[in-house]
Structure 1
């Protein structure tokens, strides 16, 4: 979650060569301030219904998309198609985060309500409420739902299926009164962040919850007792995103235009996490991160509209810069990945769908247009709700600061779908800590 009250950064709009390749020089924003969208040129929708406005274009035509080759991409032999299959407007204000798990989609906004949507019908089936507003980040892990709020605290719910689906609140992190007690005894490990939380990540195997903040720190929480066991002075500027790999390696993205890589060492009592690598993002603040399912590629979206990516080697300290995906004209605010697809959402009010081909290059399959405000969050999953078809479907859910939640379906013939080779023939080299 980005602060929405600070000045606008300058957003770079790029040009491509006639062949569609990238220019030799990136035009980048070097602003390290959070973007403000209070003056963003879009007209917010009017709430004409007391409950919700459904404009689901179930009968809308499919839009064929014949992309041209972007930087580092190849032109596909067959085209893809896409369409918006559902569009919902609630009186919750800006949609700030989306999470998926246990057959449900969870959406958080700047109200105090988390809405629960059942798949595949995409119908609302429940709500989670707190005494404070603004749900800034969410994660779902097994039967637990973790939600970070504007008050700097994280609420935890557990899903149960007794007599229907229910969610029982388990904990609030940090515990009420914990900060006061530790202030009295001169300790600050239990104190909440000194600034708004921007992102959370979970490592279930280590019983660990991570939270990042605009206060430039990462806090490490032990899930079983909700205690803070470490505070990492992670970056020189506010932290915008966290993602943790299956091997426990933690990645953090910041306004200081870097992605930092952290590893946990259990033999150290005072400093559990150590910085092992610093990746630079070409002088532009990094707003969002995503990892591929096999942890083979790391993507970072920046305020200049570029999506940089790195190939991972056998070891966590082996990362090779792969290139940049270009197409957005404003800040990339969210990223999601599933199988060979990468989905990006931007302040330019569009989402773009990219496919990784067998040769490791990226093809832009679709530009999803329909939101009337910056796209803040996105999730994606494969298939037409589990159906076996002749084509491959990628279902995407996007949430925007216009308050609208949209679901899209991108179709691509299976004959054109490649599978990513984890190494792609790259020669990995070990980068030095920056």
Structure 2
């Protein structure tokens, strides 16, 4: 049922249309559009199709039935504006039956509840790099995705010239993002042709992941409205940078709100180091949670900026965890491994679950490595999986992953990753043909 409080919110915001749904494994918001009266009628016994955890990013079913509608629970706190039409809102309804434990948002919620039981409130924010292309959905398919036409081909990293030339473009995009009730810290040009970065503002953990999923939807829609494509593919190919979806996180005292990573001397404090220690142990084992596509592993090829093992240091861009220590309330840890296509809920669940493990078990972090390059491996460090198939095997074999995230989810998600890996197992690129066809 729709509570009196939610009804009052709908009235106050003059919402007459609800886009109601939930996020799938690709981080895509799958929804139904309902008029206000239809929403209230549906909400008496709400249900949603249980195919979401049973299909891949191309909408191909891979798991057995039954295929039916399962019960869902409406998260009334998730209500926000939906700026693509007048008097519209968006609200999330999560599975509450058999599929509940398999869904990314539920995996994250369990880690946030775990943090709360330890006395912590979670604050987080995502940074997404995105590449804009001068291609429509039709032109990409007509060219068979070959040599996509660039937008802002002369862009240089943090270029004031790009900022000046594209000020209207950026300003319009900022307006659209903020109209989703998404906290935005900055949006600016980044490294490479058509590359921009949206840095979101810090909010509570579940809202942060919701914001991350919806900001990509907003950016993609913005681009399509201008006959362009916004790509979050981690590596498009030669001539383009690899792009990330970094996560910034801090733990606060649940009672006082004080940032617990803050240090009077502006150093990475003991709690943050234990958090890093937990990531050092669990992330290599459960790596698939932050890299669940075949293309995500292209980003970790030699010569890229992406680190190849779990390293950390203060302020250093070439490490997997970049600590941003502070004597003020902005102290945080930045997880630099997820690609721009990551599932925000699972990537944040990985970071948080691993860090909480380190705190609970009082693990000791390795020494910081400010001088290592991204291709350098810290002595004794576990390397990350080289392929999605390897990541799936490590995840399913991992005792710590099963303990933290649940055996049922781990088994199912490992299967999801294998389906994704197998989908491209026989694919042959133009580069492979050029190298081998006449050999």
Fold-level similarity (TM above 0.5):
no
Structure having the larger proportion of residues in helix = 2
TM-score, normalised relative to structure 1: 0.23
Structure having the larger proportion of residues in strand = 1
